[in-house]
Amino acid sequence: MKIALLTLAGLVLAPLAGGLLAGVDRKVTAWLQSRKGPPIIQPFYDLIKLFAKEKLAVNPWQVLCAWVYLMAAVFSVVLFFNQADLLLLFFVQAVGAVFLVMGALSVPSPYSQVGAQRELLQVLTYEPLLMLVFVGIYQVTGSFRISSVLDHPRPLLLELPLLYLVLTYALTIKLRKSPFDFSTSHHAHQELVRGVLTEYSGPFLGLVELAHWYETVLILGLCALFWATSVPGMAILLGATYFLELLVDNTMARMTWRWMLRYVWTVGLVLAFTNLLWLHL
């Protein structure tokens, strides 16, 4: 019964929260650019519109890939809400990320192709870091299960502050914010049109967008685990982290994948290993 309720909460609340967050994101971004910006519920209008557009696909693969991407994102969020294993959750979301890329690779469009290659590099960049974050959580709590993180008496942030920073790098890449928004961007007119999303259109773009909301909630959920002992603490941590993301997004230029690989791996790995060694001092 508890599992059913938690699953339902994950299925329903996650996209609602993800959509609202996307709306707040656009509003705050507009505010930072001295514009008024769209209403908070704008992402829901966009999504409904996309689902009601004509189904226009390049090939059947694309359709399958959009669905698998969504299913993987939904399943990983459901696993998260059911306090399952972090490693399982990690692998499920990785499958989804790869299917998004495969869909983009299945079409002849060069924009989509290059976007897919860059998306693969982004996945390659954040996956090891995410893994190290989970290793850090394991070192502290003695288990990969989320339930044991929730049972941990002290906030993880006190023991894993540097790994939290590493997680925010993964968050920025996953949210496709500047300086890491080169596989695709929320803003049009980048050099690759919409990169990995170029050839997804109408309802299939809607599926990808919905999956993106689920993934945003998942990664923010992982961030929330770092102050799981108190609800206000969680809210403060998430609010501060997301505002920082927006600030970085609006003040940074788009960089190249070479820069990302060099910068994120050197800084990220050094931070991660320092934190892991420090646990044993």
Partner 1 sequence: MFDALVTRARVKSPWVLHFDCGSCNGCDIETLACLTPMYDIERFGMINVGNPKHADVLLVTGTVNHRNKKVLQALYEEMPDPKVVIAIGACGLSGGVFRDAYNVVGGVDRVIPVDVYVPGCPARPEAIIDGVVAALGKLRQKAVPTAAGAGGNGRFHPRMKATGSS
Helix (H), strand (E), coil (C) string for 80-110 = HHCCCEHHHHHHHHHHHHHHHHHHHHCCCCH
Cα 236 to its chain centre, rounded Å, is 19
The DSSP symbol for 42 reads H
Q: With contacts defined by CB under 8 A, name the span among 102-110, 166-174, 234-242, 269-277 that binds partner 1.
A: 102-110
Residues 5, 12, 13, 30: which binds partner 1 (CB under 8 A)?
30
Tell me which residue of 80, 251, 245 sits closest to 169, measured CA to CA: 245
Is 67 an interacting residue with respect to partner 1 (CB under 8 A)? no
Residues 3, 5, 53, 240: which binds partner 1 (CB under 8 A)?
53
Is 103 an interacting residue with respect to partner 1 (CB under 8 A)? no
Tell the smallest beta-carbon distance from residue 67 to partner 1 (Å): 14
Element (H, E) at 25: helix 2-32
Token reading at 152: 């941990």
The DSSP symbol for 256 reads -
Residue 193, beta-bridge partner list: 190
Q: Of 59 and 266, which has the nearer Cβ to partner 1?
A: 59
Q: Of 213 and 226, which has the nearer Cβ to partner 1?
A: 213
Residues 198, 216, 241, 275: which binds partner 1 (CB under 8 A)?
198
Residues 2, 4, 108, 277: which binds partner 1 (CB under 8 A)?
108
The number of residues making up the chain comes to 281
User: From the CA atom positions of the chain, what is the Rg in Å?
Assistant: 18
Is 16 an interacting residue with respect to partner 1 (CB under 8 A)? no
Residues 125, 201, 216, 275: which binds partner 1 (CB under 8 A)?
201
The DSSP symbol for 40 reads T
Q: Of 154 and 187, which has the nearer Cβ to partner 1?
A: 187
Q: Of 23 and 221, which has the nearer Cβ to partner 1?
A: 23
Is 193 an interacting residue with respect to partner 1 (CB under 8 A)? yes
Interacting residues of 94 by C-beta distance below 8 A, sequence separation 6+? 123, 127
Q: Of 111 and 226, which has the nearer Cβ to partner 1?
A: 111
Q: Of 26 and 145, which has the nearer Cβ to partner 1?
A: 26
Residue 230, sorted as left (phi over 0), alpha (psi -120 to 50) or beta, turns out to be beta
Tell the smallest beta-carbon distance from residue 38 to partner 1 (Å): 5
Residues 1, 4, 188, 253: which binds partner 1 (CB under 8 A)?
188
CA dihedral 70, 75, 77, 80 (to 10 degrees): -160
Token reading at 41: 């519920």
Sign of CA dihedral 172, 174, 175, 176: positive
Is 35 an interacting residue with respect to partner 1 (CB under 8 A)? yes
Site for partner 1 in 237-266 (CB under 8 A): none
**What does the binding site for partner 1 look like in residue numbers (CB under 8 A)?**
26, 30, 33-39, 42, 44-49, 51-59, 61, 106-108, 188-190, 193-194, 198-203, 205
